[in-house]
Chain A
Amino acid sequence: MNAPVITGMAVVAPTGQSLDQHWSSVLAGRSGIRPIDRFDPASYPVRVAGQVENYVARGTMPSRFVRETDRFTQMGLSAAQAALQDAALDPAELPEYAVAVVTASSSGGTEFGQKEMERLYQHGPSWVSPYQSIAWFYAATSGQISIRHGTKGPAGVLCAEQAGGLDAVALARRLVRDEVKAAIVGGTDASLCPYGLTAQLTSGRLSTVNEPEHAYRPFDASAAGYVPGEGGAMLIVEPAAEAERRGARIHGTVLGHAAGFDPAPWTGRPSALRRTMERALDDAGIGPRDVDVVFADGMAVPADDADEARAIGEVFGGGGVPVTVPKALTGRLHAGGGGLDLVTALLAIRHGCVPHTAATTSVPGSYDLDLVLDEPRPHTVRHAMVLARGHGGFVSAVVLGA
């Protein structure tokens, strides 16, 4: 069975709102982490975040979509449309139920929700927007994309925090294998409002370093937590035969996936990372030596980094594979992170170049990791593995092929 292929991709990310912009930022190590400007962050210990500069929804989509949605859904709608354009795919040209939509959502329409709760408690129930129910729930983006593009196939919504974007692609792959001719898939998040940031602070994993270039340093000896970000990516997945039939340009193939779950912290059992990577390789039908780069999760919390470095070493051998964490330039995008990493990996395949982990300068020797540092590394990429870990224990791995 030919693996499903990726024929379209688009980003709305702190590193750019086009593939070219994103890739040039990644190669140049140009960070999208900046002082928070959507509200005054002075009273918070975290004052920087990965922000999508000059993102404008109004005028780029029918105005009712802007009025009815939170920023996270607007970004999803923008990316979905751009991904369809990139794929040169018009869902209207396919049979009525042939296109699926799958999105990951990590925390829904947080900013919209905070505004409406403020109205409720300051003014009363009659002040709450009729769009609150459909703007802040987790299914908002899948529903709105289906409406905008008239897609009537299966519509899925998965929540697994940062791991959700990869799980969504796995679900899209299943739908493409089983029944549909195309899937619009990805995820976005935009929780950079005061309540969203406050909630994230309680995870205990946020960096309180407030110089943007030093705040988020995955696998660095001085790693002190992660920086949150907003945005994400959308992709178009099709059966190989369908892509061939319509002469589509192929960015890469979805070769394998596995999902696992870390045992409860009090059990003392090992994390699911190693096993999940191994199962993803099995699913892809390749061995560890076939993998040319690993896009690591890179939490930048020392215990998590050590755990991930160990698992990568166990699967690929110490220093056995180039590892990179381009999300150091964007912060963690939660539901948007998996999709963005996949796009970056597909660009690495296209350009034969592994981007570096720009913010990291010194990796502890005990990690025994070939982390790509300082500058991009020219390197033929036939197979890339993308890893993600979601708050609470979610682990997901996708293997992409050229």
Chain B
Amino acid sequence: MGRAVITGMGVLAPGGVGRDAFWKLLAGGQSATRTLTMFDPAPFRSQLAAEVDFDPRAAGLTERETRRMDRAAQFAVVCTREALTDSGLDLSGVDPARVGVSLGSAVGCTISLEEEYRVLSDEGRQWLVDHTYGVPHLYGYMVPSTLATEVAWQAGAEGPVQLVSTGCTSGLDAVGMGARLIEEGSADIVIAGATDAPLSPITYACFDAIKATSVNNDDPEHASRPFDARRDGIVLGEGAAILVLEEESAARARGARIQAELVGYGQRNNAFHMTGLRPDGREMAEAIRVALREARLDPTAVDYINAHGSGTKQNDRHETAAFKDSLGDHARRVPISSIKSMVGHSLGAIGSIELAACVLALEHQVVPPTANLHVPDPECDLDYVPLVARDHRMNVILNVGSGFGGFQTAVLLAAPGAVRP
């Protein structure tokens, strides 16, 4: 059975375009959250966002590509280019049928779907929307699989191509399932990652309606406060990250720089509530155990946990319990942090953005902090690395996610050669 390794990375996150800017933000404990600028936030309860300052033309997309692609597709394609360049892969010598795509997205082309709806319905006045003004790409916006199509075209992939949409765990599941394509022999190279660009009025209305987002509108830079006793919800974000996965022996044979190995993947569902979490963290703990079992690792092997840390009370307590349940005493010793404190919560994309952060954490041997964590929640009594990044020896990183729909996912990354021969 093949094994999947990461040989390239492209990331587009709030706070700066590209891998270096991303790491600088994280290592500095800086928050990229701010008052929403993409549209007038006045009608909304939560007026905060972690936005990507993105100019598609400056990022290398043509006018045609910019017009055709939803913002989420633009993110994914730009990241794909960066990741392929970073990998040093020469795809011209590769059989396209052996190249696959596994892309995650929770909400697809929301911005374009909503914009087109406003025009065709005359701002909601017409239930029988006017089809004569439908833009040619509208069906492409309605089916989120178009995001994977754009990435496949970019990479010239003709093997298995999939769009994984498991809500807010999409970015972890897409990479975990991308690795499976390599392990089972369906592909030699998989472009894996996730993208979401959900910052639009309907998204804000959705999250307002369930009061899941922060209303700390007067202090936007410090609004995303996972594990802090004063946290009051999610700060919505956007972005993408793409990883190039290759079969290990092929990657070694071409002399690729292996940045990390994917050694474990577990997924479970809580079968409890579409948005609610039980405080015991039982199913997330099970997902972590499944990932450890696959990696043949003891809980004590985990050197750092990149937490879901969305900044809601129920999440923070849920996953704190899950870490204690699955790792036992080791949960009290292992550093844990949430980068959502800095880059917000980009729904389906964040899992892949977090995996990119984990690869960089391995490379630099530095744990990014949980920004804005000043007042610990007594119910969350683990080491969440508040405010300041920490030098730390790491071989194995656990990344977990939790999503609407009850999805609970755990992915284990390891430094090259650290845990398997």
Do they bind each other?
yes
Q: Which residues of A contact B (CB under 8 A)?
A: 39-40, 43-45, 68, 97, 101, 105-108, 110, 113-114, 116-122, 124-126, 128-130, 132-134, 137-140, 142-144, 146-147, 149-161, 164, 167, 171, 174, 179, 191, 194-204, 258-264, 267, 269, 272, 275, 334, 390-394
Contact call A202/B134, Cβ cutoff below 8 A = yes
* Given A128-B209, A133-B207, A147-B273, A155 contacting B163 (CB threshold 8 A): no
Q: Give the Cβ gap from B280 to chain A, nearest Cβ, in Å.
A: 13
Q: Which residue of the partner chain, among A106, A202, A267, contacts B136 with CB atoms under 8 Å?
A: A202
Residues in A neighbouring B129, C-beta threshold 8 A: 114, 194-195, 198
CB nearest neighbor in A for B165: A138
Q: Give the Cβ gap from A158 to chain B, nearest Cβ, in Å.
A: 6
Q: Does B299 contact A (CB under 8 A)?
A: no
CB nearest neighbor in A for B118: A121
Q: Does B138 contact A (CB under 8 A)?
A: yes
Q: Give the Cβ gap from B4 to chain A, nearest Cβ, in Å.
A: 15
Residues in B neighbouring A150, C-beta threshold 8 A: 271
Q: Does B404 contact A (CB under 8 A)?
A: yes
Measured in the bound complex, the distance between the Cα atoms of B200 and A246 in whole Å is 50
Q: Give the Cβ gap from A76 to chain B, nearest Cβ, in Å.
A: 13
Which B239-288 residues have a C-beta within 8 angstroms of A?
267-275, 283, 286
- Among A167, A202, A263, find the residue whose CB has the most chain B CB atoms closer than 10 A: A202
Residues in A neighbouring B173, C-beta threshold 8 A: 156
Measured in the bound complex, the distance between the Cα atoms of B138 and A204 in whole Å is 11
* Given A128-B205, A160-B145, A118 contacting B127 (CB threshold 8 A): yes
CB nearest neighbor in B for A130: B209
Q: Which residue of the partner chain, among A120, A134, A198, contacts B405 with CB atoms under 8 Å?
A: A134
Q: Which residue of the partner chain, among A97, A196, A262, contacts B268 with CB atoms under 8 Å?
A: A97
* Given A43-B128, A394-B145, A260 contacting B184 (CB threshold 8 A): no
- Among A147, A150, A154, find the residue whose CB has the most chain B CB atoms closer than 10 A: A154
Interface size class on chain B is 35 or more
Contact call A260/B160, Cβ cutoff below 8 A = yes
Contact call B114/A158, Cβ cutoff below 8 A = no
Measured in the bound complex, the distance between the Cα atoms of B210 and A308 in whole Å is 47
Residues in B neighbouring A258, C-beta threshold 8 A: 160, 186
- Residue pairs across A and B with Cβ atoms less than 8 A apart, 17 shown, are A107-B144, A125-B209, A146-B269, A146-B271, A152-B283, A155-B166, A155-B267, A155-B406, A157-B165, A160-B148, A174-B180, A199-B139, A260-B97, A392-B140, A393-B152, A393-B153, A393-B161
**Top-6 shortest CB links A-B:** A143-B405, A121-B124, A392-B149, A133-B206, A138-B165, A128-B205
CB nearest neighbor in B for A103: B165
Q: Which residue of the partner chain, among A105, A108, A128, A194, contacts B202 with CB atoms under 8 Å?
A: A128
Known: A125-B43, A157-B165; 15 extra A-B contacts, CB below 8 A, are A126-B208, A137-B167, A138-B106, A138-B108, A152-B270, A171-B177, A191-B142, A197-B131, A198-B130, A202-B135, A261-B158, A269-B96, A391-B139, A392-B143, A393-B161
Measured in the bound complex, the distance between the Cα atoms of B106 and A108 in whole Å is 11
A interface majority secondary structure: mixed
* Given A137-B106, A139-B167, A143-B405, A122 contacting B208 (CB threshold 8 A): no
Q: Give the Cβ gap from A166 to chain B, nearest Cβ, in Å.
A: 12
Interface string of B331-368 (1 = CB under 8 A from A): 00000000000000000000000000000000000000
Contact call A143/B108, Cβ cutoff below 8 A = no
Q: Give the Cβ gap from B284 to chain A, nearest Cβ, in Å.
A: 11
- Among A113, A121, A122, A142, find the residue whose CB has the most chain B CB atoms closer than 10 A: A121
Q: Does B157 contact A (CB under 8 A)?
A: yes
Which B375-391 residues have a C-beta within 8 angstroms of A?
none
Q: Give the Cβ gap from B302 to chain A, nearest Cβ, in Å.
A: 21
CB nearest neighbor in B for A155: B269
Q: Which residue of the partner chain, among B121, B140, B405, contacts A391 with CB atoms under 8 Å?
A: B140
Measured in the bound complex, the distance between the Cα atoms of B124 and A140 in whole Å is 24
Q: Does B407 contact A (CB under 8 A)?
A: yes
Measured in the bound complex, the distance between the Cα atoms of B209 and A264 in whole Å is 40
Measured in the bound complex, the distance between the Cα atoms of B107 and A370 in whole Å is 42
